[in-house]
Amino acid sequence: MSPDPIERAAARVSRPLGACLLALLVVFAFLVVQAPEDRSQGVIQKIFYVHVPTVLGAYLGFFVTALAGALYLWRDEERWDRLAASAAEVGVVFCTLVLLVGPIWAKGTWGRWWTWDLRLTLTLLLWFVYVAYLLLRSFTEGGPRTARFASVYGMAGLVVIPLNYFALELAGGRSMHPENLEGGSFGEGMGLPFAVGMLVALVAFAWLLALRVRIAGLRARVEEGELLAGETAAPARGGAGS
């Protein structure tokens, strides 16, 4: 078994993506420092440039998980399952960050760490679903059975998002959380750092996913005993730490 196309692509793009991310992070940090301070919230509002883009990574992760799960069930090819598992892990990382960064901002501006607001609750539920997804994977013995179970659960998790949205709105979405950005709430000088922040999140997501997919592929081949000792093992170890 040679590396499948997804793993080959991941191996090829991971290094350029990493370099790109490093450069973008420098630009991003500079732009956030330069961005004007919010008149009412002060400097803490700058957490916004991290908070909102992280949400993008979380949703991307869960969307890719469900999509790759569907492709696995359809085509019965293991590589789709490896992509789904990788995306779920990366998505959980981003979602955890959202749930850590959000309360810091909330404590600073609303005066409390947590409220049972529509968006907060929705994100928390999403986190629970995908942590359960990862648990399910690790509690099943592996192979096609794990892949099938996880695919079904990952897709069910995505299907429930709109239902949750509807349900929580019905429950009276007492919303402290700001509504969408379309309201033109951007002040002058906020657009560029935000756009770069979104780009950073996108590149960071792609980079982590590429690393994770590569590890999954290498691991699968090690388990099949086809990878010779020493061959391309070093980058995998480097990636596992990130």
Partner 1 sequence: MSAVLAILWKDLVSEWRSRDRIVAMLLFSLLVVVVFHFALPVRPGGGPPEGLPGLLWVAYVFAAILGLNRAFAVELENEALSGLALVPCDRGFVFLGKATASFLLILLAQLATALAFALAFDAPLGRVAGPLAGIAALGAAGLASVGTLFAAIAVRTRYREVMLPLLLLPLLVPLLLGAVRATAELLASGRVPSDAIQLLLVTDAVFLIVSFVGFEYVLDE
Binding site for partner 1 (CB under 8 A): 73, 125, 128-129, 132, 135-136, 139-141, 145, 148-149, 151-153, 155-157, 159-160, 163-164, 166-168, 170-171
Indicate the angle between helix axes 191-223 and 78-109, nearest 10 degrees: 140
> Is the CB of 24 or the CB of 126 nearer to partner 1?
126
DSSP state of 113: S
> Is the CB of 39 or the CB of 139 nearer to partner 1?
139
Minimum CB–partner distance for residue 220 and partner 1 (Å): 20
Minimum CB–partner distance for residue 135 and partner 1 (Å): 6
Minimum CB–partner distance for residue 143 and partner 1 (Å): 11
The closest of 54, 18, 24, 55 to 209, measured between CA atoms, is: 18
Minimum CB–partner distance for residue 149 and partner 1 (Å): 5
Q: What are residue 42's phi and psi, to 5 degrees?
A: 80, -150
Under 8 Å between Cβ of 92 and 134: yes
Q: Helix H segments across the chain? A: 5-34, 48-75, 78-109, 118-139, 144-170, 191-223, 233-240
The closest of 155, 116, 151 to 137, measured between CA atoms, is: 151
Q: How far apart are CA 125 and CA 85, in angstroms?
A: 19
DSSP state of 183: G
Q: Which residue type occupies 197?
A: G
Instruction: State the CB neighbour count (10 A cutoff) for residue 223.
Output: 11
Minimum CB–partner distance for residue 151 and partner 1 (Å): 7
Q: How far apart are CA 185 and CA 40, in angstroms?
A: 13
> Is the CB of 148 or the CB of 219 nearer to partner 1?
148
Say how far residue 131 (Cα) sits from the centre of its chain.
12
> Is the CB of 30 or the CB of 128 nearer to partner 1?
128
Minimum CB–partner distance for residue 138 and partner 1 (Å): 9
> Is the CB of 111 or the CB of 139 nearer to partner 1?
139
